[in-house]
Amino acid sequence: MVNISIAEPAGFCVGVKRAMALAQAAAERGGSIYSLGALIHNPQVIAAMKDKITVIDSPLAARGDTLIIRSHGAPPQLLAAAEGRYGEIIDATCPFVRRAQQLAAEYQSAGYQVVIVGDAAHPEVVGIRGWAGQAIVVADAAQAQALPQFPRIAAIAQTTLIAADYAAVCAVLEGKTQQLEIAATICNYTEQNQLATRRLAERVERMVIVGGRNSSNTLKLAQISAAAGADVFHIETAAEVDEYIVRGVSNIGVSAGASTPEVIIEEVVEKMSELEVLQDTAAEEQNAEQQNAVAENAIVEDSDNEKISEPEQVLDPKAAPDAGEAIDSSPVEDIAAPEQPVSEDAAEQPVSEDAAAEQPKAAEPDAFTAEYGDMKEIRRGARVKGVIVQVKDDELLVDIGGKSEGVLTSSELTTEEAKDIKGHFNVGDEIDVLILRRENQEGYPVLSKRRVDQDIVWDKLAQLKADKEIVTGKVTDVVKGGVLVDVGIRGFVPASLVSMGFVEDLSTFVGQELQLKIIECDKHANKLVLSAKAVLRGQSKEQKAKTLAEIAEGQTRKGVVRRLTNFGAFVDIGGVDGLLHVSEMAWYRVNHPSDLLKEGDEIEVYILGVNQESEKISLGLKQLIPNPWTLVAEKYPEGSILTAKVMRTTTFGAFLEVEPGVEGLVHISQMAHHRVDKTEDVVKPGDMVEVKVLSVDPEAKRMSLSIKAVLPEPEPEEAPAEQAAEQAVEEAAEEVAETGVAAIVAEGKEKAAEIIAEGKELFEEGKSEFAEKVEEAKSEFAEAFAAAEAKAIEKIEEGKVKAGVKSAKAKAKAADKAEELKEDLSELKEEAKEELAEAVEEAKEAFAELKEKIADKLSDKDE
């Protein structure tokens, strides 16, 4: 018997159903109807609608009443070309494809390089690419690896893409950009269909994938089934189903692509069932012919060896002996006794009591016959009772009432029974068995006890599911997508239902016993799905209600760390998850919760707050230990010397960890006796340094530390101090030279020369008057220069005097004064510029007056 299971879901997806509904509605309205490309990738559906809907490759190829945009969508250029050529344009684009198109357009507008993951020749990908402009299409991770670097990338998947393939490509794209956006565009139905197909393929020997050979999602189902280890047949219709598909296997799975109608799936399953029945019938007929041949040979042999009886011994009512003679009533074998006619008189003749007593009595039915009937007719698939007549090391012989005992091999016993057959069975034991075959090559029926036991377990599990009872199962193995459990038969627990949270390594559950709830129980499909999470969730719900009723702010409770995030940890404190924020973990700065905790840790937490309505609980960890700042003043009084670790540096100093939760600041001025330009020149993070406590403020959580205070005072160095003073003076002198006072004077002279030249060209009479003004300007420039020069000399002398202090401190002060001198010289420069500007303005005004006078004089001359 072959079990045929159908993956759920299978067949038409939402997008295809919508496209077909729109197309059928348009066909009912009538008119000239065209579809831009095949509506779906199923040749049978397209052929059925060809009389009503014409398929075209371009909107420019026709004009008509209606144009249908297929479920795969189309580029905007084709949609624009269709405008005005058709009375109505029906957009049957799948909603998931439409969303992928919109995202592609949005990312393109936002400046992302759109990368489409899928088949470049597929019409869906062609359409999405049209909406994304300069998009790139890659089929796999290898093609993605060949891409150059881009500032920003947006990844969009073909809706029928395998999720694992999409993830592999995105992993490569992360190394190709600084910012990667991953669009979740894989169709939900596609993911569910692929997952159901994979799970079914893992449980059956053979998979039949139904759908068009040019359908992308159907081809992916075939790939998934093959990867799961099943023997795969890809067919389009029931006409392709032959006896080889159902031959030699006991479990067959069926799945179909999103473009496959349910009617085709049903036809395929029906055809396979018919072929399986025909094969069984043919086998039974062949066995019957063999049995008849054996029987006929036996009759011939018996007739040859049998002695012919005397004629008077033949039972004939007319030749019956006297009443006193006994009649031989011994039974005759059915196969040797010919049928004899019986007269009505003989039939009505009464039988004497003695003769009746001598006739054989019919055996009364035993318990076996009473319950199951005469089992001389052995049929395949029957469930009967039998009696063990022989126990061997690897098999049992069982009397099931047929012409010969049945054979029950160790492979058809349970695992425990097969390990020790003689320890579990004895001659005379009555057992239930299933007839697998009417005869083997030796002519013995082939039996199975394991399958009967499984049927009993299936029935029991079905009842437990109906009663919503909990069963106990032992995890035996880890498979793709979950674990296998033994609950009398093998069941499957998906990875997402093994525990309340995500489990990275399922192998840790092997050998454990789990409390399970039955989710699916289908004996005919050989499908048993269970959930440990459902049991845990129920237990957690009860515990949660109890915890919420008892919990209160200020309590201390034990909990288990369930999950870590960047901002904290979620801790289970009895069926309720509370948030332990990273700021509440310790009295010191914690960069990441993983620095202190890991998932599975059992810890004690302090209840900071409880919101019964939202069921939100705030937790603390640091509240259970003393605040280190409360003891700082006593442990580290002012003037004490200690060793601390440099945690981080800034432009103004470095923060040192005195102890966990206590940090102090070493200002840059307290790092060395000499001037320090950069903190990193003295210390760097991770250094252990000796410091002196300058001050402690526990309330403000501040501590001032000094490295300089623990260093010895340096010896005075006269020569370097004198050199520093001389250098300061030289720098000041250079600054004076650089102030540009001479340049300012030169600039004024040039302007004055320009004014003079211009005046000479205009007139000769005003020469003397203009010269006076120029002399005044020169005088003002000279005074400004003299003032600047005097101030500069004064500052230089002041620098010389102050730089003469012969000590190490003088060097720093001289440098400071040099800085002040530079600032003063800069101010002088600005003042000189301002004075020059005023002088120039006055010169311009004088020039304007001269021009007017010249004009007047010229006017007088003309007159």
Annotated catalytic sites, by residue? Answer: 124
- Is residue 296 within 8 A of residue 255, CB to CB? The reply is no
- Is residue 736 within 8 A of residue 796, CB to CB? The reply is yes
For the beta sheet containing 64-69, the strands, ordered from the edge strand earlier in sequence to the opposite edge, are 54-56, 33-36, 64-69, 86-91
310: DSSP letter: P
d(CA 559, CA 501): 15
- Residue 860 vs residues 541, 758, 855: alpha-carbon distances, Å: 115, 21, 9
Q: Which residues pair with 644 in a beta bridge?
A: 689
Q: Which residues pair with 491 in a beta bridge?
A: 485
Q: What is the CA radius of gyration of the chain?
A: 52
User: How many CB atoms are closer than 10 A to CB 522?
Assistant: 13
Question: Among candidates 182, 176, 180, 181, which has minimal Cα distance to 157?
Answer: 182
Contacts of 116 (CB under 8 A, 6+ apart): 104, 125, 128, 129, 132, 135, 136, 137, 138, 156, 157, 158
- 789 sits in which H/E element: helix 767-802
Contacts of 368 (CB under 8 A, 6+ apart): 375, 385, 387, 401
- Is residue 603 within 8 A of residue 586, CB to CB? The reply is no
User: How large is the greatest C-alpha to C-alpha distance in the chain, in angstroms?
Assistant: 198
d(CA 729, CA 796): 6
d(CA 698, CA 658): 13
Q: Which two tokens stand for residue 521?
A: 């129980």
Amino acid at 771: A
d(CA 402, CA 198): 43
Contacts of 420 (CB under 8 A, 6+ apart): none
Contacts of 547 (CB under 8 A, 6+ apart): 573, 574, 575, 576
Pairing of strands 3-6, 251-256: parallel
Q: Which two tokens stand for residue 221?
A: 């189902």
For the beta sheet containing 136-138, the strands, ordered from the edge strand earlier in sequence to the opposite edge, are 136-138, 113-117, 150-157, 177-182
d(CA 665, CA 706): 8
Residue 206 main-chain phi, psi, to 5 deg: -140, 140
- Residue 418 vs residues 10, 276, 386, 395: alpha-carbon distances, Å: 39, 30, 18, 9
Pairing of strands 641-649, 653-659: antiparallel
d(CA 575, CA 571): 10
Residue 363 main-chain phi, psi, to 5 deg: -70, 135
650 class by beta-carbon count within 10 Å (0-12 exposed, 13-18 middle, 19+ buried): exposed
d(CA 175, CA 509): 35
d(CA 96, CA 161): 12
User: How many CB atoms are closer than 10 A to CB 469?
Assistant: 12
- 720 sits in which H/E element: helix 718-738
Helix (H, G, I), strand (E, B) or coil at 179: strand
User: How many CB atoms are closer than 10 A to CB 40?
Assistant: 30
- Is residue 202 within 8 A of residue 228, CB to CB? The reply is yes
d(CA 181, CA 152): 8
